[in-house]
Amino acid sequence: MENKQIHFQITKINGMVFILGPTPPMEKGEEEEDPELQLNQTLDHLIHAFKEAGVEARNIRNLNIFHKSEHCEAYKEIIENYFNSRNTTLHIVATTMEPLIQIDGVALANKKEWQFIKEHKFWLKTAIFSLIGISIPILIGFLFLYFSLKYE
């Protein structure tokens, strides 16, 4: 089986990456030479597409994989070997539709762990909550003194 070009549609929204992609449809009269090989190639292309979108495989959160039902057990084993992470929720659905494999998924875009420190919004919230945290005990102390002196 030749290595066919597989395209995925990728959309990035607010730190999330959505992906959708079928394998190329089989041409009339073309036999499925090796469905397991086709699945492996598709998953390799999927991982590569996520990497190009700036997502590591460990950040993939949800994958829906639709495939032809006659290859169910072999596909399940291959898919679980690719995505053995606890972070990824897999939905493997056997259907009778074309193309042979259809995939859609969601991942979180890679962010550096301490990236939030550079954001203005983080420092603004920190300052506001710090002022609130300091001013409430001071206000309570003044109210206590005021009422204790007033009602002596």
Q: What is the pTM of this model?
A: 0.59
Which amino acid, one-letter code, is at 118?
Answer: K
User: Would the pLDDT of 126 be above 80?
Assistant: yes
CA 32, chain centre distance (Å): 31
For residue 76, name the pLDDT band (cuts at 50, 70, 90). Answer: confident
Instruction: Return the structure tokens found at 142.
Output: 């003044």
Q: Are 92 and 80 in contact (CB under 8 A)?
A: no
pLDDT at 1: 44
Strands (E), 37-88: 60-68
Which of 25-29, 45-49, 84-88, 123-127 is predicted least confidently? Answer: 25-29
Alpha-carbon distance 43 to 23, whole Å? 10
More confident residue, 33 or 65: 65
CATH class of the domain comprising 9-108: alpha beta
Where b means 16+ CB within 10 Å and e means fewer, 69-93 reads eebeeebeebbeebbeeeebebeee
CA 58, chain centre distance (Å): 9
C-alpha R_g of the chain: 27
Alpha-carbon distance 141 to 51, whole Å? 56
CA 64, chain centre distance (Å): 12
